[in-house]
Amino acid sequence: MHAVVYEVAHKQGWEGDVEGELDMIVEGGKQTEGFLSGLWLSDGTTGLAIIVVESEEVAQAEAAGAAVIPEASITLQSAKVFEVKRTA
């Protein structure tokens, strides 16, 4: 399993739209081949959207294509791929 972690910054004055933007990233991830789960987190100034997929190849492709439209309430800071390990 691998995860794509999208780090975003909130644009000042657009805070009311951030939850919807992060939801859109996770909802878009649901269409990804091998999608397993997704979630997002926010502290009011930055946010993370995390999409977990079955393969590294799919995760790398997702990260490489990461983008947000200029009119979004967030700016994409990074999209990184991580291996997911489970512990008991």
**Total-model pTM:** 0.87
Residue 74 has pLDDT above 90, yes or no: no
Q: Judge contact between 85 and 15, C-beta under 8 A.
A: no
Residue 9 has pLDDT above 80, yes or no: yes
| Domains present along the chain, CATH in parentheses | 2-83 (3.30.70.100)
Q: How confident is the model at residue 79 (pLDDT cuts 50, 70, 90)?
A: very high
Q: What is the CA radius of gyration of the chain?
A: 13
CB atoms within 10 A of CB 67: 8
> How many alpha carbons lie under 13 Å from residue 53 in its C-beta half-sphere?
23
* SS3 call for 16: helix
Residue 76 has pLDDT above 80, yes or no: yes
- Which of these, 28, 77, 32, 78, lies nearest to 59 by C-alpha position? 32
